[in-house]
Amino acid sequence: MQKGGVIMDVTTAEQAKIAEKSGAVAVMALERVPADIRAHGGVARMADPTIIKEILNTVSIPVMAKARIGHFVEAQALEALGVDMIDESEVLTPADPFYHIDKRAFTIPFVCGCRNLGEATRRIWEGAAMIRTKGEAGTGNIIEAVRHQRMVTRMITTLQTMPTAKIQKVAEEYCQSYVTSFKTLTNQNVDEKTVVFGSSTYSILKKELYEILKEIKKIQRLPVVNFAAGGIATPADAALMMQLGNDGVFVGSGIFKSKNPEKRAKAIVEAVAHFDNPETIANVSKNLGDAMLGIEISTIPKEQLLQERGW
């Protein structure tokens, strides 16, 4: 779904129209783009359904919307509204300190963020149909997205030469966040028959995470599409992520926080379609006007890093 394309954050129907006209393969309907969420502070929640409905009625491309991590009722509401995909997103304030949404309980597909293969594997097991890097949203700084993509691909490469027993060990490690949640909640230890997530027992979890890792080893990539997100501000940023192996990109604040959104949006679409053609990248990068100013990651207090949300 949406492979090779650009998904753009929009906050109004007019922006959605611009995104569609510029060649976006989908839009993410939001109340505020991440840069504004960062500046605004407070608790960030699902967008007002009025805005989402308006955007749904304006464009023919798919419309996505964000729900808070673990907030399955926001997800149910978004599904009822008829959005095409839900982003269980760390850009919003998490709602559950223990569990992400059990995405298997929905018919609507989900996209989730990850920083490494462990997070990606857990989200896929929980039912995510699409994965994206977390990056650091709202910064216009690509470094965290690159970090996360490299973490994922490095681990996939490592799996290639890993013996079965070692992969089973990795699967067990990847189970630990569920085990910790259970222990914190109940003060009890987990055994094979303990139900750790949804209706799945620990033994099923372990077995199925292993199955996913085996599949990843076999196909040498994630079994779902893997987009880049969090900090993409220029056509070259977008093409960089594509060359690092992403299947497409999300651009949040990067477009509508720049001087000339329409021109930049079109340029990023071109850059993603022709990511391995340096001439095109050079061409579309000309005269775009100012990109968003951006933030150096080390100036952000650790507790304000969005990527730390989720596990």
Catalytic residues: 66
Span of 30-38, 75-83, 222-230, 250-258 interacting with other proteins by CB under 8 A: 75-83
Backbone angles phi, psi at 35, to 5 degrees: -60, -35
> Over 190-212, what HEC string results?
CCCCCEEECCEEHHHHHHHHHHH
How many whole angstroms separate alpha carbon 247 and alpha carbon 178? 29
CB of 34: closest distance to other proteins in angstroms?
23
List 50, 107, 287, 298, residue binding other proteins (CB under 8 A)? 107
| 269 lies in the binding site for other proteins (CB under 8 A) | yes
Which of 17/32 has CB closer to other proteins?
Answer: 17
Supply the DSSP string of 88-139, one letter for each residue.
EETTSPPS-SS----GGG-SS-EEEEESSHHHHHHHHHTT-SEEEE---TTS
Please select the residue that binds other proteins; options are 91, 108, 190, 228, rule is CB under 8 A: 108
Please choose, from the candidates 106, 67, 103, the residue with its C-alpha nearest in 3D space to the C-alpha of residue 87: 67
Smallest distance from the beta carbon of 83 to other proteins, in angstroms? 8
| Interactions with other proteins, residue window 179-238 (CB under 8 A) | none
Segment contacting other proteins by CB under 8 A, of 29-37, 38-46, 106-114, 172-180: 106-114
Which range, of 65-73, 118-126, 153-161, 268-276, touches other proteins by CB under 8 A?
268-276
Which CA distances in Å does 165 have to 154, 158, 253? 19, 14, 44
Q: By C-beta, is 125 or 275 nearer to other proteins?
A: 275
287 CB contacts (<8 Å, ≥6 apart)?
Answer: 263
Residues that bind other proteins (CB under 8 A): 1-5, 20-26, 56, 60-62, 79, 82-85, 107-109, 269-270, 273-274, 277
